[in-house]
Amino acid sequence: MARADRSETTPSALGGVLRRWAVPLGIVVAVSALIIGVFWMQQDPSEPPAQGGATGTPSADAPAAVEHPESVAAPDLSSEEGRDPDDLLAEGPADAPVVLVVFSDYQCPYCAKWSDETLPELREYVERGELRIEYRDVNIYGEDSERAARASLAAAMQGKHAEYHARLFEDGEIRSSGELDRESLVALAEELGLDAEQFEADMDSEEVETTIAENAQQGIELGAMSTPAFIIGGTPTVGAQPTEVFTQMVDEALAESEG
């Protein structure tokens, strides 16, 4: 299940990444690319650039105004798509024309809102074989988030990821910290008809720990520290925006794939 192009990452190694004072240049570049892509997505070319400083007529010896482009090309992050047919945290065919990578956190209220309002409509594309959704939990809220992420993968190992994910974000709301403790997560698995003993064993397995750590590190490397964040057909965007924003982006990516 681990991404083939990534070295093995343990939870302790991930903690080391978070504790470093010096940020590697590659991360800075990736973060800058993500910000540029988001700016490109949200900018209105018809709106004049904001003016700063004093008003009035510039002096004769003032430097000429710098011309700025009307838009900035979004970076292509298609290389971040896993397309691993064995990825249990994915919905849709590995060869779907469009991939949506979702960077989320089980304690993020906006992630819950997006999952409740937008995900059902995007699943219609999945059912038609047009879209693949790959979930990547970044766990920026800490231990409870990581535990929930491990539980969702353990549920996926018994074929119940979508159902478990939906219950963690039931009615577009997040669960309290007390509802994300081990006992509550196991109880939820039992409610969904899962083998509780196998579920707990999978939660504690090295395979699950490694996969969850790698997925979180992918988000960290891309600067996805504000959730939810997405890559849609290679284009980054952030936030639980209106559903039509996502369907339009998927439609555009589909049209481009056919062109």
Domain extents for the chain?
76-258
Q: What's the confidence (pLDDT) of residue 66?
A: 56
Name the fold adopted by 76-258. Answer: Glutaredoxin (3.40.30)
Closest C-alpha among 189, 114, 113 to residue 148: 189
φ, ψ of residue 82 in degrees (nearest 5): -80, -50
Q: What's the confidence (pLDDT) of residue 51?
A: 37
Q: What's the confidence (pLDDT) of residue 68?
A: 56
Interval 114-139 mean pLDDT: 98
Mean pLDDT of the chain: 82
The lowest-confidence range among 10-14, 120-124, 127-131, 186-190 is 10-14
Which residue shows structure tokens 């989320």? 104
152 pLDDT band, cuts 50/70/90, is very high
pTM here is: 0.75
Tens of pLDDT, residues 69-88: 565 677 999 999 999 999 99
Residue 6 pLDDT more than 80? no
Q: What's the confidence (pLDDT) of residue 36?
A: 39
Q: What's the confidence (pLDDT) of residue 74?
A: 77
What 8-state DSSP symbol labels residue 157?
T
Q: What's the confidence (pLDDT) of residue 29?
A: 38
Interval 130-157 mean pLDDT: 98
| Of 96 and 51, the one with more pLDDT | 96
Residue 138 pLDDT more than 70? yes
* Residue 66 Cα distances to 59, 63, 103, 246, angstroms: 16, 9, 37, 34
Rounded to whole angstroms, the Cα distance separating 237 from 42 reads 9
